[in-house]
């Protein structure tokens, strides 16, 4: 079986604050308009609560807050990207991610870079797996597995 080059992967891009980000398109289950979220008491600030998605309970996280960005619009006007994140030796994790806006599904041109922090909070630069170029703009690629590991550690799991 021929191995795919990273530069040939297709990504789903979106905006968090003023920054452009992307995840591999195969992680995206669907995109929803903002729906009511039930807050969970004493949860981490960026874990906004849970929502009902056709009878399933889905945790919703605000990655804008996780990265320390200012929100560019009220959460009620945002989209929720429903992600399906593979977990080792467990069923896939379904997570709703609040994004200021969604962009496109596209192939991205990878850029070599030694510095992936690009203004992210200290301790969060491992959340970025790479940098790509889309037109004249840079897009940061999220490492969803690392993000989930970090959230689980913060929760105490």
Per-residue pLDDT tens over the stretch 47-63: 999 999 888 899 999 99
Read off the pTM.
0.85
| Residue 71, both tokens | 């929100």
User: What's CA 71's distance to the chain center, in Å?
Assistant: 15
Contact 48/37 with Cβ under 8 angstroms?
yes
Among candidates 62, 59, 82, 61, which has minimal Cα distance to 70? 62
| Residue 137, both tokens | 């703009």
Query: What was the pLDDT predicted at 22?
Result: 96
User: What confidence tens digit (pLDDT) does each residue in 26-52 have?
Assistant: 999 999 998 889 999 989 999 999 999
User: What confidence tens digit (pLDDT) does each residue in 65-107 have?
Assistant: 888 887 778 888 999 999 999 888 888 899 999 999 998 898 9
- Report the C-alpha gap between 12 and 144 in whole angstroms: 13
- Report the C-alpha gap between 67 and 50 in whole angstroms: 20
Q: Which phi-psi region, left, alpha or beta, contains residue 85 (left: φ > 0; alpha: ψ -120 to 50)?
A: beta
Instruction: Tell me which long-range contacts 132-138 makes (C-beta under 8 A, separation of at least 24).
Output: 132/11, 132/22, 132/108, 133/108, 133/109, 134/13, 134/20, 134/106, 134/108, 134/109, 137/20, 138/20, 138/111
- Report the C-alpha gap between 138 and 133 in whole angstroms: 5
């Amino acid at each position: 079986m021929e191995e795919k080059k990273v530069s040939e992967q297709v990504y789903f891009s979106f905006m968090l604050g003023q920054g452009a980000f992307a995840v591999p398109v195969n992680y995206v289950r669907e995109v929803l308009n903002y729906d009511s979220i039930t807050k969970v008491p004493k949860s981490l600030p960026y874990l906004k609560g849970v929502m009902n998605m056709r009878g399933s309970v889905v945790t919703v996280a605000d990655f804008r807050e996780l990265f320390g960005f200012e929100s560019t619009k009220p959460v009620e006007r945002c989209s929720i990207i429903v992600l399906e994140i593979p977990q080792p030796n467990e069923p896939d994790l379904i997570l709703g991610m609040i994004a200021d806006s969604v962009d496109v599904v596209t192939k991205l041109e990878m850029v070599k870079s030694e510095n992936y922090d690009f203004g992210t909070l200290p301790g969060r630069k491992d959340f970025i797996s790479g940098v790509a170029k889309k037109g004249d703009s840079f897009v940061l690629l999220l490492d969803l597995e690392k993000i989930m590991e970090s959230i689980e550690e913060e929760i105490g799991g």
